[in-house]
């Protein structure tokens, strides 16, 4: 058993993959594996390769949910292998970690081959927070499993899987001899370490070991664990990213006994002979994560495939048959992605997982959704959600801009990856928007990460009707936002089949807004829609004169299958300054309205299938010309559960004219009357 200590390293970069080197003066260089973007890969990552998963939050590094860079000197890291410790916590193991990260990719000082953070966060909808780390000094995450840090012997020790049995924690790791070409590296062996104090100290020398073969093709050099029905299943691949998947199992009480492992040979389990294991998922399979799902009643497997996409397969049993691949996240939307590891507390079809990106060499929490058959459903409807498909600084289609906007290409400014959108100017309104197809009568949630600077002013993230001047359907506002913050708005589509998602801001001096990682998905809870319609007789826009009577009608209905609580507020302040409300005219088809000063309020339940009709009348006063001569009625509405989908006519105005000739009086057809001076007949003897 070994107490933790601090290591430092100097890193040398070679293209997009940092290869272990021996630096001058004996300092050692190392780096975790990463994909290499090439012209061929870029061509294969067509725009059609859309990512269903959405970014929920940043797990590690600067701007992360738990600020791991300042909390534990975890500034640059990768992987994020999660398991339930059986004590109400998720333990998360990371690979090569740097306190003084230099990037791009892994590199820098204060190098540790692996670290461990703990989380008790059960609500992942707003990101994953960490409570503590295994430390070797206050505020410094320590290395769990030592490595020689000598290229060609053992450059690093990288965790690949974790599991708890009882109060003991098990952590599989690979001893990396040297890094090679992109996607290739050589291992000495894989081994299982264990801890009996919740990860504070580890025995990394006495556990079972699977030594690599001379050709580098031993099938259990990188493994994933899952417990089920008294066994721990160990899924494995050779070193690198070009191998196939295999599976072994061991009674959960015998994890440290290598002779107790059985290997699937395609038809049966063979005890003690790892050469019997056959491939059950063909290459390329890299960085496996496997989980038994109560939601599907079967098994889930995620891994990086030959397209450098993170994909999902499903199976009724650990040995297969495994389904075809389904994409979770594409290289086109998340350049340099790797290491997707499922969160053990994913449930009810919500699949949370960590995802690493080579630049900025950190991990993110993503979310996808699967149905009971394991099919990926409810994808992110925003195209190019992180602007990573942009080829230069101009805003890429299908995004569009009103005003001055563009793309920054700089990982220190982006929330995720290397790019994010920006807008900046000093007067008026500016926004970036995208038209999105939606289903009618459906509840959706739009989210995005926003940071602002310059002169404070109100901004908004929301959705609106298509076309110039489209009415806002739903929005959430922001003002001064000093660090990337996740904003969300839930709305109901009503009868629409398209909406326009936008991020925008008013301008009151030099102001800029940056935004990244947007998503639009069906809301977990589908809520009813609330529709409101306001009309008047005479109709809005009509000119009226004193003593005219105007009758108003407000209707409200929901598409709910049950009664829905609704609140209406009709602001009459702009009416009663020019007209007199007839209190006796107040009427309601459901419940009773209440006049509260100059506001008419209605509060109650609208039964399913019924429509509330609220009406009242007002008479134009003779002195209306002494005020603004405008009869203004403004209606607002909200529901206990229902979401307002439309409010047609809710801002309604008529004009009271100072003088308007009346139609000719019957007795004096040739002389129109005036309101106070009716026409007089001509004098006798004169025409």
Question: 206: which strand partners?
Answer: none
Q: How many CA atoms lie within 13 A of 203 on its CB side?
A: 12
Higher pLDDT, 680 or 370: 370
- Going by C-alpha positions, the residue among 253, 145, 182, 200 that lies closest to residue 35 is 182
508: pLDDT confidence band, cut at 50, 70 and 90?
Answer: confident
Per-residue pLDDT for 35 more than 50? Answer: no
Q: Are 175 and 187 in contact (CB under 8 A)?
A: yes
Least-confidence region, from 45-49, 199-203, 315-319, 491-495: 45-49
Calculate what percentage of the chain has a pLDDT beyond 90. 85
Question: 354: which strand partners?
Answer: 341, 365
Per-residue pLDDT for 42 more than 50? Answer: no
Rounded mean pLDDT, 175-189:
96
Give residue for tokens 């001058």: 24
Task: For residue 172, count other CB atoms closer than 10 A to its CB.
Answer: 28
Residue 261 is encoded by which pair of tokens?
């492992």
Rounded mean pLDDT, 35-64:
69
pLDDT at residue 489 in the model: 97
Per-residue pLDDT for 21 more than 90? Answer: no
Least-confidence region, from 49-58, 211-220, 417-426, 624-633: 624-633
Task: For residue 554, count other CB atoms closer than 10 A to its CB.
Answer: 25
5: pLDDT confidence band, cut at 50, 70 and 90?
Answer: very low
Per-residue pLDDT for 36 more than 90? Answer: no
pLDDT at residue 667 in the model: 56
pLDDT at residue 627 in the model: 76
| Residues near 490 by beta carbon (within 8 Å), at least 6 away in sequence | 443, 444, 445, 446, 474, 523, 527, 643
Per-residue pLDDT for 235 more than 50? Answer: yes
- The radius of gyration computed from the CA coordinates of the chain, to the nearest angstrom, equals 33
Handedness of CA 440, 445, 448, 453 (dihedral sign): positive
pLDDT at residue 664 in the model: 53
pLDDT in tens, 618-660: 999 987 666 788 999 999 999 999 999 999 999 999 999 876 5
Per-residue pLDDT for 616 more than 90? Answer: yes
Angle at 336 between CA 102 and CA 347, to 5 degrees: 110
pTM above 0.95, yes or no: no
DSSP type of residue 334: S
- Going by C-alpha positions, the residue among 615, 79, 556 that lies closest to residue 358 is 79
pLDDT at residue 622 in the model: 84
pLDDT at residue 296 in the model: 97
Give residue for tokens 């790019």: 419
Residue 397 is encoded by which pair of tokens?
């289609």
pLDDT in tens, 516-529: 999 999 999 999 99
Distances (CA, A) of 359 to 8, 9, 103, 337: 21, 19, 7, 9
Per-residue pLDDT for 4 more than 60? Answer: no
Q: How far apart are CA 9 and CA 14, in angstroms?
A: 16
Per-residue pLDDT for 47 more than 80? Answer: no
pLDDT at residue 29 in the model: 37
pLDDT in tens, 309-334: 999 999 999 999 999 999 999 999 99
pLDDT at residue 2 in the model: 28
Rounded mean pLDDT, 54-76:
97
pLDDT at residue 112 in the model: 98
pLDDT at residue 38 in the model: 34
Per-residue pLDDT for 683 more than 50? Answer: yes
pLDDT in tens, 577-602: 999 999 999 999 999 999 999 999 99
pLDDT at residue 666 in the model: 56
State the DSSP string of 179-228.
E-STT-EEEEEEEEEEESSTTSSBB-SSS-EEEPPTTS--TTSEEEEEEE
Residue 398 is encoded by which pair of tokens?
């299908």
Per-residue pLDDT for 1 more than 60? Answer: no
37: pLDDT confidence band, cut at 50, 70 and 90?
Answer: very low
Mean pLDDT estimate for the chain: 90
Which residues of 543-598 form beta strands (DSSP E)?
Answer: 543-544, 549-558, 564-571, 579-588, 594-596
| Residues near 480 by beta carbon (within 8 Å), at least 6 away in sequence | 452, 456
Per-residue pLDDT for 479 more than 60? Answer: yes
pLDDT in tens, 525-553: 999 999 999 999 999 999 999 899 999 99
Q: How far apart are CA 194 and CA 255, in angstroms?
A: 10
pLDDT in tens, 604-613: 999 999 999 9
């Amino acid at each position: 058993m070994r107490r933790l200590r601090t290591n430092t390293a100097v890193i040398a970069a070679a293209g997009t993959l940092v290869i272990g080197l021996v630096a001058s003066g004996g300092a050692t260089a190392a780096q975790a594996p990463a994909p290499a973007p090439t012209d061929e890969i870029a061509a294969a990552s067509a725009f059609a390769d859309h990512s269903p998963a959405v970014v929920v939050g940043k797990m590690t590094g600067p701007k992360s949910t738990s600020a791991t860079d300042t909390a534990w000197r975890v500034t640059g890291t990768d992987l994020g292998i999660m398991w339930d410790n059986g004590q109400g916590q998720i333990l998360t193991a990371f690979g090569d970690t740097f306190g003084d990260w230099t990037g791009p990719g892994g590199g820098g000082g204060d190098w540790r081959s692996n670290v461990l953070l703990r989380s008790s966060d059960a609500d992942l909808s707003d990101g994953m927070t960490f409570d503590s780390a295994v430390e070797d000094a206050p505020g410094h995450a320590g290395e769990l499993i030592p490595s020689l840090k000598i290229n060609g012997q053992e450059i690093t020790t990288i965790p690949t899987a974790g599991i708890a049995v009882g109060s003991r924690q098990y952590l599989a790791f690979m001893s990396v001899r040297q890094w090679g070409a992109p996607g290739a590296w050589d291992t000495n062996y894989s081994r299982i370490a264990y801890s009996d104090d919740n990860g504070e100290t580890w025995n990394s020398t006495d556990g079972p070991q699977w030594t690599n073969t001379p050709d580098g093709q031993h099938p259990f050099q990188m493994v994933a664990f899952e417990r089920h029905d008294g066994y721990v299943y160990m899924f494995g691949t050779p070193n690198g990213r070009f191998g196939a998947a295999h599976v072994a199992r061991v009674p959960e009480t015998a994890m440290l006994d290598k002779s107790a492992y059985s290997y699937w040979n395609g038809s049966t389990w063979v005890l003690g002979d790892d050469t019997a294991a056959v491939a059950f998922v063909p290459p390329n399979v890299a960085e496996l994560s496997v989980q038994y799902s109560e939601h599907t009643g079967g098994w889930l497997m995620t891994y990086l495939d030959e397209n450098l996409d993170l994909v999902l397969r499903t199976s009724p049993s650990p040995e297969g048959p495994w389904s075809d691949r389904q994409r979770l996240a594409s290289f086109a939307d998340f350049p340099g992605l790797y290491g997707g590891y499922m969160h053990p507390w994913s449930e009810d079809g919500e699949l949370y997982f960590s995802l690493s990106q080579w630049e900025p060499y950190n991990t993110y929490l993503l979310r996808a959704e699967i149905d009971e058959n394991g099919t990926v459903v409810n994808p992110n409807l925003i195209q190019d959600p992180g602007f990573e498909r942009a080829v230069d600084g101009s805003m890429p289609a299908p995004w569009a801009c009103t005003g001055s906007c563009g793309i920054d290409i700089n990982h220190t400014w982006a929330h995720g990856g290397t790019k994010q959108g920006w807008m900046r100017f000093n007067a008026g309104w500016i926004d970036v928007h995208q038209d999105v197809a939606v289903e009618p009568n459906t509840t959706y949630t739009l989210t995005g990460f926003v940071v602002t600077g310059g002169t404070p002013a109100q901004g908004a993230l929301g959705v609106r009707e298509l076309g110039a001047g489209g009415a806002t359907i739903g929005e959430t506002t922001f003002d001064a936002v000093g660090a990337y913050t996740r904003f969300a708005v839930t709305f109901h589509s009503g009868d629409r089949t398209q909406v326009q998602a936008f991020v925008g801001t008013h301008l009151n001096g030099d102001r800029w807004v940056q935004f990244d990682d947007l998503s639009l998905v069906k809301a977990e809870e589908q809520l009813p829609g609330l529709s409101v319609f306001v009309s008047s007789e005479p109709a809005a826009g009509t000119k009226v004169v004193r003593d005219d009577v105007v009758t108003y009608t407000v209707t409200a209905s929901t598409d709910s299958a049950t009664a829905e609580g609704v609140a209406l507020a009709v602001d009459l302040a702009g009416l009663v300054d020019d007209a007199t409300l007839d209190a006796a005219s107040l009427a309601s088809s459901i419940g009773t309205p209440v006049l509260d000063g100059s506001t008419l309020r209605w509060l109650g339940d609208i039964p399913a299938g019924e429509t509330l009709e609220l009406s009242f009348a007002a008479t134009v006063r003779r002195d209306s010309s002494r005020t603004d001569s405008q009869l203004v009625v403004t209606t607002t509405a909200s529901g206990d559960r229902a979401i307002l989908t439309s409010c047609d006519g809710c801002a309604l105005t008529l004009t009271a004219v100072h003088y308007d000739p009346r139609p000719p009086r019957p007795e004096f057809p040739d002389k129109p009357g005036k309101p106070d001076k009716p026409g007089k007949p001509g004098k006798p003897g004169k025409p």
